[in-house]
Structure 1
Amino acid sequence: MPDGEDAPRSDGPAAQEIWSRVKRRLRAELGEDVFASWFGRLELEEVVDGCARLSVPTRFLKSWIESHYVDRVLTVYRSEAEGIERVIIGVRSTLGRDAAPPRRPIESARAPGGPVGVAVEAKPFALPPAEEQKPDTGDFGSAPLDARLTFESFIIGRSNALAHAAADRVARHLGEQALYNPLFLHAGVGLGKTHLLHAIGHEARAQGRRVIYLTADRFMYGFVASLKAQTSLAFKERLRGIDLLVIDDVQFIQGKQIQQEFGHTLNALIDSGRQIVVAADRPPADLESLDERVRSRLAGGLVVEVGSLDEQLRISILTTRVAAVKALHPSFDVSPSVIAYVARAITANGRDLEGAVNRLLAHATLTGSAITVETAETAIRDLVRNREPKRVKIEDIQKLVASRYNVSRSDILSERRTAAVVRPRQIAMYLSKVLTLRSLPEIGRRFGGRDHTTVLHAVRKIEKALNEDHALNDEVELLKRMLQE
Structure 2
Amino acid sequence: MTRSPDGRDEWERIKARLRVELGEDVFTSWFARVEFETLVDETVHLSVPTRFLKNWLQSRYRDRLLVLFRESFGTIAQIEFSVRSAMRPVPGAREANEAARRPTPVLVASNAEPSRAGTAPRAAATAGRDDEFAGSPLDARHSFETFVEGRSNGLALAAARRVAESRPGEPVAFNPLYLHASVGLGKTHLLQAIAHAAKAEGRKVLYLTAEHFMYRFVQALMAQSAIAFKEALRGIDLLLIDDMQFLQGKQVQQEFCHTLNSLIDGARQVVVAADRPPADLEMLDERMRSRLAGGLLVDIGAPDLDLRRRIVAHRVEATRKTTPGLMLSAAVIEWVAENVISSARDLDGAVNRLVAHNQLTGRPIDLEMAEAALRDLLRTREPKKVKIEDIQRVVSKHFNVTKADLLSARRTRTVVRPRQIAMYLAKALTPRSLPEIGRRFGNRDHTTVLHAVRKIEEMATADRGFADEIEMLKRMLDA
TM-score, normalized by length of structure 2?
0.69
Match of 1:164 in 2: 157
Cα distance between partner residues in 2 of 1:184 and 1:445: 27
d(CA) in 2 for partners of 1:280, 1:131: 32
CA contact (8 A) 1:243 1:275 kept: yes
Structure 1 stretch 92-101 or stretch 342-351: which is displaced more? 92-101
The code of the aligned residue for 2:415 comes to V
| Residue 349 (structure 1) aligns with | 343
Secondary structure in 1 matching 2:194: helix
Residue 148 (structure 1) aligns with: 141
Q: Give the alignment's Cα RMSD to 1 decimal.
A: 3.4
Match of 1:264 among 258, 261, 285: 258
The equivalent position to 1:462 in structure 2, one of 456, 461, 466, is 456
Contact 1:246/1:277 (8 A) holds in 2: yes
Q: Letter of the aligned partner of 2:147 in structure 1?
A: F
1:201 aligns with 2:169: no
User: Quick one: structure 1 residues 177 and 395, their matched pair in 2 at CA, closer, same or farther if it must change by over 3 Å?
Assistant: same
| Equivalent of 2:353 in 359, 369, 373 | 359
Structure 2 residue corresponding to 1:297, chosen from 276, 291, 294: 291
Summarize deviations over 1:188-211 as a string: whole Å, max 9, x none.
111111111111111111111111
1:374 matched to 2:368? The reply is yes
From 178, 194, 210, give the equivalent of 2:172: 178
Alignment match, 1:28: none
Residue equivalent to 2:224: 230
**Superposed counterparts of 1:219-258, under 5 Å:** 219-258=213-252
- Report the Cα distance in structure 1 between the residues aligned to 2:160 and 2:151, rounded to whole angstroms: 15
Show structure 1 runs of 5+ residues with no match: 1-57, 64-88, 102-129
Residue 441 of structure 2: aligned partner: 447
Give the conservation status (yes or no) of the 8 Å contact 1:432–1:443.
Answer: yes
| The one of 309, 312, 320 aligned to 2:314 | 320
Equivalent position to 1:433, from 414, 427, 430: 427
2:269 to 268, 272, 275: 275
Q: CA deviation at 1:406?
A: 6.7
Q: Does 1:91 align with 2:59?
A: yes
For 1:91, the aligned partner's letter is S
**Partner SS for 2:145:** helix
Contact kept in structure 2, 1:186 and 1:193, CA below 8 Å? yes
Matching of residue 483 in structure 1 with residue 451 in structure 2: no
Amino acid at match of 2:473: L
Secondary structure in 2 matching 1:153: coil
- Aligned-partner Cα distance in 2 for 1:408–1:276: 29
The residue type equivalent to 1:161 in the other structure is G
| Deviation sequence 1:137-188 (CA, Å, 0-9, x none) | 8735322322222112212122111111111110110143323111111111
SS in 2 for 1:213: strand
Q: 1:476 to 1:306 in 2, by over 3 A?
A: closer
Letter in 2 for 1:151: F
Mapped to 1, the partners of 2:271 and 2:288 lie a distance apart of 14
Letter paired with 2:346: D
Question: What whole-Å deviation, never above 9, does each CA across 1:277-319 have from its counterpart, x for those lacking one?
Answer: 1111111111111111111101111111222112122111211
Secondary structure of 1:380 counterpart: helix
Partner SS state of residue 254, structure 1: coil
Of 376-385 and 292-301, the range deviating more from structure 2? 376-385
Asked if structure 2 preserves the Cα contact closer than 8 Å seen for 1:216 and 1:248, the reply is yes
Asked if the contact 1:338/1:376 (under 8 Å) is kept, the reply is yes
Matched residue of 1:397: which SS?
helix
- Aligned 8 A contact 1:150 1:198 in 2: yes
- Counterpart residue type for residue 292 of structure 1: E
Percent identical pairs in the alignment equals 61
How far apart are residue 270 of structure 1 and its match?
Answer: 0.7
Deviation readout 1:353-412 (Å, 9 max, x if unpaired): 122112222333344333222321222112222334345444553454456557665543
Find the aligned partners of 1:440 and 1:261 in 2 and give their Cα distance.
35
Match of 1:414 in 2: 408
- Rounded to whole Å, the distance in 1 between the matches of 2:60 and 2:440 is 36
Secondary structure, aligned partner of 1:156: coil
* In 1, Cα distance between equivalents of 2:54 and 2:431: 25
1:246 is paired with a residue whose SS is strand
**Contact residue 236 and residue 265 of structure 1 kept, 8 A:** yes
**Which digits, 9 at most, give the CA deviation of each residue in 1:47-93, with x for residues without a partner?**
xxxxxxxxxxx999999xxxxxxxxxxxxxxxxxxxxxxxxx96357
Q: In the aligned structure 2, how far is the partner of 1:161 from the partner of 1:402? A: 26
Find the aligned partners of 1:402 and 1:481 in 2 and give their Cα distance: 16
Report the equivalent of 1:286: 280
Distance 2:472 2:139 in 1: 45
Extract unaligned runs of 5+ from structure 2: 1-49, 70-82, 88-99, 108-132
**Aligned-partner Cα distance in 1 for 2:318–2:224:** 49
**What is the one-letter code of the residue matched to 2:253?**
Q
Is the 1:177–1:274 contact (alpha carbons within 8 Å) kept by the matching residues of 2?
no
Structure 1 pair 276–131 and aligned structure 2 pair: CA distance change class (3 A): farther
1:219/1:402 CA distance change after superposition, 3 Å: closer
Structure 1 residues 259, 61: CA separation in 2 closer, same or farther (over 3 Å shift)? Answer: farther
Task: Describe the SS at the equivalent of 1:152.
Answer: coil
Deviation at 1:466, TM superposition (A): 4.7
For 1:364-403, list aligned pairs within 5 A: 364-402=358-396
Structure 1 residue 452, shift from structure 2 partner: 4.1
Deviation at 1:445, TM superposition (A): 4.1
Q: Where does residue 31 of structure 1 map in the other structure?
A: none
Using a 3 Å threshold, how does the CA distance of structure 1 residues 385 and 231 change in structure 2: closer, same or farther?
same
Structure 1 residues 149, 461: CA separation in 2 closer, same or farther (over 3 Å shift)?
Answer: same
Counterpart code for 2:141: R
Q: Which amino acid aligns with 1:397?
A: I
